[in-house]
Structure 1
């Protein structure tokens, strides 16, 4: 039946279009990462207004502390922290480069003229030193450069500040091999009165001036958050412009996304927190705010949160907070994609090649779908055999549409053919294949992963366009095995040129996705030959009936 072929073409076109829209570049266009030191008079870190919850009391900064940038290096992170406020103003990932053949490290955060992406945190409340109407506290440090030595498992970077009766240590704890950083406050009340502070942590990014989406490779830059009730929700910059986010929750998290990478604040998961967003001076902000802490005279309080900046590795993210692993955004089909991703990584663990793993998982999925594929092709062949009789009915009742419908249904009943038999299996299979495509699109594990020969990066296009051409040939062969039954010349021309159109379309697709499509087509060809041969042995014709 012609509608079945149309479903196939429309489905392929829809999937391809969605992939086109969802596939994002490996990285934003690289920007220079030199960070200008803040002078003692600058208050740029204080750009975000926290006055709704901050103290009205003036905060006295350390008189002997100088504003400077603190450099921290581990095996997986290179950070720059401004000692004014203790904010992360620069972050590179030593394990990831800008491109496959580049030695330039991937820059996730930076603070430059015209663009900012930073991670800020502090203490507000009645006695908090991060009052938005005064300069941020300037912390003192024991050194300006810290490095995790080879063989060491942990690096602790303490920042010290004393004012208004409070002695504060803002401590950053790094662990070898980990992208999450523990950020803690150890507060000692040295005064004779109760002190009240409230922790906050948020991500700040310029709305304009960053990497812009292109036609072929759109980039999502924006926020996301999770609560006890909503495990994962995207919150775009446009949403932030329209409405300030206010979400009370137990635990929760707030993040900024850019395809393969995520930056996130994870506060105390047992505390009653508030997730918020705002826009100020072209800066989009999303973060979390904890409950007020009341510190008795002479007492000490500890406040902690975790900061993650790195690749979207699901296992690591799932351990930090409920729903944070969903930033690997498989869309509404995540519950199908996640098991498929597990299967893909399991296979890769045996074959040690992501390209071979793609071939293997395609074989497994297509094999599992074979019973539905068999029903689909047999139904389409039976409908094609009925075409002469259908043509007779259409000619007989061409002027009486009311009689044609019952006559067609009677023909289907008599011949024991279900006109939807070829469509329903395809509809059932589509979510599985679509979920698998999202696995290929979202998995950072495939970024810069080699396959074989000239395919050295499965996340980039085939440099010699071999795979798209082979895909077009395989699609053409499928058309020959399953020829069109339409007589309309325009539709015939469209279908004839469809393999060429998709080959051109796939020139810009990541080679991993094209490899999947090609293998899937080759398996379909083999299944068609096997199914049609079995039908011919039963005396059923599988070839196109001639039309005048």
Structure 2
């Protein structure tokens, strides 16, 4: 197996893996039965769960088939987002990100949280306890400013509700330039007896991947939980529906999130005043909707006593430097697959290069050149072996014609030639195998970096995260693959030779749907490989003529 076939095999296998994952995601169950939904409820431990406390309010699913109940609404606008908060539950029902546009309609802002039939995605909160205010309680919207004014740093929204002998006040704070929304829940005991209230925070979402995402580029969509003890854990919607979701149930710290390509929403909180452990849960709600959340330790309120719990909801792009500053492990929501240990340093280098040149496309080119330079000795050894094999191609072909179908004698004769010429037939493959993990890690970096979203390169390439609108890069890349085929040893088997000639066409079709940033990376890598391989071939051919 020569280097060209090895690279083709790896890329083709990687593409098949992505297609298989996308197919699995497409065929996940849409409406789990009531029995399955009950199995997927959180553990029945010392802490009560939202499922227990809220069944009296709605014995069916969390969201009725006719849609979520609606109340009075407040629209909050800042310089980076627009949020719609419904008085029915005090949920954030919609969240538009002003600096990002939709994939389908670039004239509209990207909508992360949304209220739409079959695609509901809400941020919810409340109290667990007998008849206490929760995300189904009707709140009163307190009058106040709704839009961040010039020179103003924060705009707040307050909601109040009374139920079960307590008053719950929710205060949302939206800050300039921030995707982190602060929420303070203040509980006041209005009765004559002690009240136990468990604050909870959850994200309710449908299971579908973001609209506009290519099936060839499968990235994780679903809940995630992080604690210091158990670290980062993804939770598959399908396993939640089947009641087989495995994740940490209780911890002293941590956060819960909903992850999708380029964006994330996450409830982040410090330990409340009362000591204790928080509980994490996931459950299927029916109607292809799922909830992931956490319950904080109990607030014990004596008659007339008030207590507050402060949290933050981050709902925005997966910008790693900002995520890392918000909470431990939050930057892990950027999906680098199983090569995170390699991908993260590559992203940091790419980010540093972009700061130097102020162009993500140029930064990709420079990073590819640097990686190619770092692996130059290995690549040179590989191409030298390939050039020697190419020089021997006529002799090997004559052996095939001489021995015909006698593969044993053919193999013995070929090995004799290799020994005489001091050539290792695997010499072109082994150096490439060492480089493959780095190139796959760089693939995940370019696929997962939200910084490339809407980032222009040059001329017609105005978004490196979108496919080339005129397919120029994929076509040029196919041409470079044909050139590589000509510089590589011709397989002695005619069938293999024809397959290898078709490969560039097959891969160019794949790359039609890939982001321009990925295609640019492969194109630059191919060009550098061609130059290096051509130079080595020339040197060896000249040496052979002397």
Question: Partner of 1:14: helix, strand, or coil?
Answer: helix
Decide which of 118, 123, 134 is 2:122's aligned counterpart. Answer: 118
> In structure 2, how many angstroms separate the alpha carbons of the residues matched to 1:436 and 1:255?
25
**1:38 equivalent in structure 2:** none
> In structure 2, how many angstroms separate the alpha carbons of the residues matched to 1:400 and 1:67?
78
**1:490 equivalent in structure 2:** 495
- The alpha-carbon deviation at position 228 of structure 1 amounts to 2.7
> In structure 2, how many angstroms separate the alpha carbons of the residues matched to 1:314 and 1:260?
11
Question: Partner of 1:531: helix, strand, or coil?
Answer: helix
**More moved, 466-475 vs 358-367:** 466-475
**More moved, 237-246 vs 344-353:** 237-246
Gaps of 5+ in 1: 25-48, 58-65, 542-548
Decide which of 77, 82, 86 is 2:81's aligned counterpart. Answer: 77
**2:204 equivalent in structure 1:** 204
Q: Are 1:70 and 1:145, in contact at CA under 8 Å, matched by a contact in 2?
A: no
Number of aligned residue pairs:
502
Q: Are 2:467 and 2:513, in contact at CA under 8 Å, matched by a contact in 1?
A: yes
Question: Partner of 2:151: helix, strand, or coil?
Answer: coil
Q: Does residue 322 of structure 1 match 2:328?
A: yes
CA spacing shift, 1:389–1:483, aligned 2, 3 Å: closer
Decide which of 448, 455, 465 is 2:461's aligned counterpart. Answer: 455
Deviations 1:36-80 (A, max 9, x none): xxxxxxxxxxxxx824256989xxxxxxxx941121111112111
- The alpha-carbon deviation at position 380 of structure 1 amounts to 2.5
**2:261 equivalent in structure 1:** 259
Q: Does residue 89 of structure 1 match 2:80?
A: no
Question: Partner of 2:339: helix, strand, or coil?
Answer: helix
Q: How does 1:347-358 map to 2 (within 5 A)?
A: 347-358=353-364
> In structure 2, how many angstroms separate the alpha carbons of the residues matched to 1:293 and 1:108?
32
> In structure 1, how many angstroms separate the alpha carbons of the residues matched to 2:236 and 2:405?
54
Q: Are 1:448 and 1:457, in contact at CA under 8 Å, matched by a contact in 2?
A: yes
CA spacing shift, 1:527–1:217, aligned 2, 3 Å: closer
> In structure 2, how many angstroms separate the alpha carbons of the residues matched to 1:217 and 1:433?
16
- The alpha-carbon deviation at position 497 of structure 1 amounts to 2.5
**1:174 equivalent in structure 2:** 174
> In structure 2, how many angstroms separate the alpha carbons of the residues matched to 1:210 and 1:350?
32
CA spacing shift, 1:143–1:219, aligned 2, 3 Å: farther
Deviations 1:299-338 (A, max 9, x none): 3322122211111111222223332212110100111111
- The alpha-carbon deviation at position 498 of structure 1 amounts to 2.3
> In structure 2, how many angstroms separate the alpha carbons of the residues matched to 1:363 and 1:185?
52
Q: Are 1:94 and 1:105, in contact at CA under 8 Å, matched by a contact in 2?
A: yes
Q: Are 1:55 and 1:128, in contact at CA under 8 Å, matched by a contact in 2?
A: no
Question: Partner of 1:112: helix, strand, or coil?
Answer: coil
**1:505 equivalent in structure 2:** 510
**1:232 equivalent in structure 2:** 232
> In structure 2, how many angstroms separate the alpha carbons of the residues matched to 1:284 and 1:540?
71
Question: Partner of 2:181: helix, strand, or coil?
Answer: strand
CA spacing shift, 1:163–1:5, aligned 2, 3 Å: closer
Q: Are 2:72 and 2:86, in contact at CA under 8 Å, matched by a contact in 1?
A: yes
**More moved, 15-24 vs 84-93:** 15-24
**2:34 equivalent in structure 1:** none
- The alpha-carbon deviation at position 396 of structure 1 amounts to 7.6
**More moved, 356-365 vs 387-396:** 387-396
Q: Are 2:102 and 2:110, in contact at CA under 8 Å, matched by a contact in 1?
A: yes
- The alpha-carbon deviation at position 460 of structure 1 amounts to 1.9
Structure with larger RCO (C-alpha < 8 A, sep 6+): 2
Q: Are 2:129 and 2:198, in contact at CA under 8 Å, matched by a contact in 1?
A: yes
**2:368 equivalent in structure 1:** 362
Gaps of 5+ in 2: 24-48, 58-69
**2:26 equivalent in structure 1:** none
CA spacing shift, 1:71–1:374, aligned 2, 3 Å: same
**2:13 equivalent in structure 1:** 14
> In structure 1, how many angstroms separate the alpha carbons of the residues matched to 2:127 and 2:6?
58
Decide which of 268, 279, 299 is 1:274's aligned counterpart. Answer: 279
> In structure 2, how many angstroms separate the alpha carbons of the residues matched to 1:235 and 1:520?
35
CA spacing shift, 1:12–1:351, aligned 2, 3 Å: same
Deviations 1:98-149 (A, max 9, x none): 149732111112223444111111111347323x9xxx33322332761121
Q: Does residue 305 of structure 1 match 2:305?
A: no
- The alpha-carbon deviation at position 351 of structure 1 amounts to 0.9
TM-score w.r.t. length of structure 1: 0.82
> In structure 2, how many angstroms separate the alpha carbons of the residues matched to 1:476 and 1:394?
26
Question: Partner of 1:146: helix, strand, or coil?
Answer: coil
- The alpha-carbon deviation at position 225 of structure 1 amounts to 2.2
**2:338 equivalent in structure 1:** 332
- The alpha-carbon deviation at position 215 of structure 1 amounts to 4.4
- The alpha-carbon deviation at position 156 of structure 1 amounts to 2.4
- The alpha-carbon deviation at position 236 of structure 1 amounts to 2.3
Q: Are 1:262 and 1:310, in contact at CA under 8 Å, matched by a contact in 2?
A: yes
**1:32 equivalent in structure 2:** none
| Alpha-carbon RMSD | 3.3
Deviations 1:448-500 (A, max 9, x none): 211111222222222222212211221111122223142x2222222222223
Q: Are 1:212 and 1:219, in contact at CA under 8 Å, matched by a contact in 2?
A: no
Q: Are 1:69 and 1:144, in contact at CA under 8 Å, matched by a contact in 2?
A: no
Q: Are 1:157 and 1:173, in contact at CA under 8 Å, matched by a contact in 2?
A: yes
Deviations 1:145-180 (A, max 9, x none): 611212222222222234444333211122211111
- The alpha-carbon deviation at position 219 of structure 1 amounts to 6.8
TM-score w.r.t. length of structure 2: 0.82
**1:60 equivalent in structure 2:** none
Q: Does residue 481 of structure 1 match 2:483?
A: no
**1:515 equivalent in structure 2:** 520
Q: Does residue 106 of structure 1 match 2:110?
A: yes
> In structure 1, how many angstroms separate the alpha carbons of the residues matched to 2:261 and 2:372?
28
- The alpha-carbon deviation at position 372 of structure 1 amounts to 0.8
**1:158 equivalent in structure 2:** 158
- The alpha-carbon deviation at position 431 of structure 1 amounts to 0.7
